[in-house]
Amino acid sequence: MENIKHALNTLGVDLARYEGSDLHSVSPISGATLASLRCDTPQQVSDRIARAHAAFAQWRMVPAPRRGELVRLFGEELRTHKDALGRLVTMEAGKILQEGWGEVQEMIDICDFAVGLSRQLYGLTIASERPGHRMMETWHPLGVVGVISAFNFPVAVWSWNAALAFVCGNSVVWKPSEKTPLTAIAVQSLFEKAVARFGNDAPEGLSELIIGGREAGAALVDDARLPLVSATGSTRMGREVAVRCAQRLGRSLLELGGNNAMIVAPSADLELATRAIVFSAVGTAGQRCTSLRRLFVHDSVYDTLVPRLKKVYDTLPVGNPLEPGNLIGPLIDAAAFEAMQTALDKARMEGGKVHGGERVSVAGCEGAYYVKPALAEMAEQTGIMHHETFAPILYIVRYGKIEQAIAWNNAVPQGLSSSIFTTDVREAELFMSAAGSDCGIANVNIGPSGAEIGGAFGGEKETGGGRESGSDAWKAYMRRATNTINYSHALPLAQGISFDI
Ligand code: NAD
């Protein structure tokens, strides 16, 4: 409790503004209540959207490189407060400290990217078919961008959206996970510090924070003042958001569940593969959208690799994520633990041999849910393997032909991340080809988790199809205008039409 107060103080958070009894932030580390907060009422949600809407009208006219300066200042705040914010992420989301700091580093990285981008919001010049004419494409700010985020990346996901949205000339309304409101409040406080240093041309309401549950998220989705809602979370949530947003012909950018696989081919470097498998499968206690969940191992290396994995799994340090040396922290809550046990029971019923998966008791943390990560050896890809269970379960299946392994990779409804370990260039290229992995991310000789911000991030099928972060993902946060300019003394019409008046 004292630690939370200390971290919040260091981050300059005035919690009194948010205190109440509607929503409780519960520590996944110990099960203790960290803080009790009030939720925004529907009227307050609407008022916040109105403020963001008014802010947009001003902000869109601030030159983009100047908008980048605000994001640069925010990045500086993050650098200064990386330790405290990373600790807070660990305390509220339960990931190990190194991952808490890593998440803040991702925020810093996307700020750097967005600052550069603020001078590169390029349009096109297009050859016109008409004499004395020029065509071009201009990218304009879009409006108020709604961001709905999940508990497992409580701050990075907002920054992937917000840093781009701000330099693109938009305002942002954020509805964070009801499981991690404190980290969101801390980020809002750091953003306000950056705004104070930036000066008068950052309007009030540029970044609005909404505290609440699903209903508050749904209020954003239904509000026609938001041309874009970017929502990260479960596929169940995405289905609701997509339909509701489409009903008002709004745009949604969806980053939903993953069910990520790796293929270990005969020529694989097994040392590298082992490290990649372990980190991808157990990092964040299997609670990453890109966590490795399915492993297809070639017959010729199965009996070397799988016993080695079991040995490593038996020695993995599970415990309080604030203590150095622990690699695996807790699951987020009791429901996550029950979901894991249910999935393991199903795996057994489907003929799987399960290694690990039991609850681990951690001294002083008896109210929390720590588990030994599980390996489940399956004879084939069975029903349970088609579902994302947000816990450290790795299903392993033996394969003979690469085409079979790729078919299994693609046979699930999700399409986020995938990887292959091979030193055979033909296999690697096949995996990345049009006939290869159908995921948004297809890696060679690294695991499926831990994307860099420079690339566009997101996945296909039930993962929702959205792309965030690097490459040209910024275009989702702008509207495109096609301009045709006539500098001639005639009026030639398109489609060869001619008429006299
Ligand atoms: P969740 O779906 O329970 O909640 C996510 C957010 O959506 C929360 O803020 C919640 O309040 C809100 N929400 C829920 N129902 C809503 C509705 N009907 N309308 C509007 N808002 C609604 O997810 P979670 O348990 O917090 O996170 C875990 C899930 O998120 C996993 O499936 C994981 O794969 C996914 N995830 C995906 C990515 C990605 O980039 N693809 C990243 C992180 C997490």
Express each pLDDT in 140-149 by its tens digit: 999 999 999 9
Nearest residue CA, atom 9 of ligand 1? 177
- How confident is the model over 179-184, as a mean pLDDT? 98
Query: Considering only CA atoms, which residue is closest to atom 21 of ligand 1?
Result: 217
Q: Whose CA is nearest to atom 28 of ligand 1?
A: 233
The Å distance, Cα 254 to ligand 1 centre, comes to 10
**d(CA 220, ligand 1 centre) in Å:** 14
Sheet holding 441-444, edge to edge: 353-355, 374-378, 393-399, 292-298, 260-264, 417-421, 441-444
237: CA distance to ligand 1 center in Å?
A: 6
Closest atom of ligand 1 to 175 CA is 9
In the reported structure, the alpha carbon of residue 256 is separated from the centroid of ligand 1 by a whole-number distance in angstroms of 7
Distance 298 CA to ligand 1 centre (A): 34
Q: Tell me, what amino acid is at 373?
A: P
Task: Indicate the pairing of strand 171-175 with strand 207-209.
Answer: parallel
Domain positions in the chain are 1-256+464-482, 260-444
Mutating to test ligand 1, I would choose from 236, 289, 417 the residue with most ligand atoms within 8 A of its C-beta, which is 289
Question: Tell me, what's the pLDDT at 2?
Answer: 55
Contact between 483 and 135 under an 8 Å Cβ cutoff? The reply is: yes
Looking at the predicted structure, is the pLDDT value of residue 24 above 90? yes
Among protein residues, the one with the nearest Cα to ligand 1's atom 12 is 214
Give the Å distance between the CA of 483 and the centre of ligand 1.
Answer: 39
Distance CA 177, CA 350 (A): 34
Buried b (16+ CB within 10 A) or exposed e, 433-467: eeebbbbbbbbeebbbbbbebeebbbbbbbbbbbb
Counting from 1 in the atom list of ligand 1, the atom nearest the Cα of 153 is 43
And the tokens for 415?
Answer: 């399409």
Task: Count other C-beta atoms under 10 Å from residue 137's C-beta.
Answer: 13
Task: Quote the ligand 1 centre to 414 CA distance (angstroms).
Answer: 15
Is the pTM value of this prediction over 0.95?
yes
**Beta strand spans in 105-243 (E):** 125-126, 133-141, 144-148, 171-175, 207-209, 228-232
- 23, 92, 148, best to mutate for ligand 1 pocket (most atoms within 8 Å of CB): 148
Q: pLDDT of 226-276, one tens digit each?
A: 999 999 999 999 999 999 999 999 999 999 999 999 999 999 999 999 999
User: What tens digit of pLDDT does each residue of 359-377 get?
Assistant: 999 999 999 999 999 999 9
Q: Quote ipTM for the complex.
A: 0.98
Q: Whose CA is nearest to atom 43 of ligand 1?
A: 289
Closest to 305 in 3D by CA, of 186, 409, 421, 201:
421
Q: Ligand 1 mean position to 209 CA, how many Å?
A: 17
Distance (Å, whole) CA 448 – CA 371:
22
Ligand 1 atom at minimal distance to the Cα of residue 236: 2
CA of 130 to the centre of ligand 1 (A): 50
In ligand 1, the atom with minimum distance to the C-alpha of 390 is: 31
List, for residues 418-452, the tens digit of each pLDDT value.
999 999 999 999 999 999 999 999 999 999 998 89
What's the confidence (pLDDT) of residue 493?
82
Nearest CA to ligand 1 atom 26: 150
Q: Quick one: which atom of ligand 1 is closest to the CA of 255?
A: 41
- Testing ligand 1's pocket by substitution, the residue of 234, 332, 414, 441 carrying the most ligand atoms inside 8 A of its CB is 234
- CA–centroid distance, 132 to ligand 1, in Å, is 52
Q: Which of 92, 99, 152, 439 to mutate to test the pocket of ligand 1 (most atoms within 8 A of CB)?
A: 152
pLDDT at 400 over 70: yes
Atom of ligand 1 nearest to the CA of 244: 19
Name the percent of the chain lying above pLDDT 70: 100
- Asked if residue 1 has pLDDT above 70, the reply is no
Domains 1-256+464-482 and 260-444 share a fold: no
Q: Which of 69, 92, 255, 468 is catalytic?
A: 255
Q: In the prediction, which pLDDT does 500 show?
A: 82
d(CA 136, CA 493): 17
CATH 3.10.150.10, applies to 260-444: no
The 10s digit of each residue's pLDDT in 62-118 is 999 999 999 999 999 999 999 999 999 999 999 999 999 999 999 999 999 999 999
State percent of the chain over pLDDT 90.
96
Kindly list the distances between the CA atom of residue 125 and the CA atoms of 121, 168, 386, 471, 490, in Å, as whole numbers in the listed order: 13, 20, 46, 20, 21
Q: Predicted confidence band at 496 (pLDDT cuts at 50, 70, 90)?
A: confident
Atom nearest to 388 CA in ligand 1:
32
Coil, strand, or helix at residue 281? helix
The minimum-distance atom of ligand 1 relative to the CA of 148 is 9
**Architecture of the structural domain at 1-256+464-482:** 3-Layer(aba) Sandwich (3.40)
Supply φ then ψ for residue 368, to 5 degrees. Answer: -110, 175
What's the 3-state SS for 366-398?
Answer: CCCCEECCEEEEECCCCHHHHCCCCCCEEEEEE
Tens digits of residue pLDDT in 278-313: 999 999 999 999 999 999 999 999 999 999 999 999
Angle at 104 between CA 281 and CA 365, to 5 degrees: 60
The whole-chain average pLDDT of the chain stands at 97
What are the phi and psi torsion angles at 212 (to 5°)? 170, 180
Taking Cα atoms as reference points, which of 285, 212, 245, 293 lies closest to residue 43? 212
Residues near ligand 1 with C-beta < 6 Å?
148-153, 175, 177-178, 213-214, 217-218, 221, 232-234, 237, 240-241, 255-258, 289, 388, 390, 416, 463
Which residue's alpha carbon is nearest to atom 36 within ligand 1?
Answer: 233
Asked if 255 is an active-site residue, the reply is yes
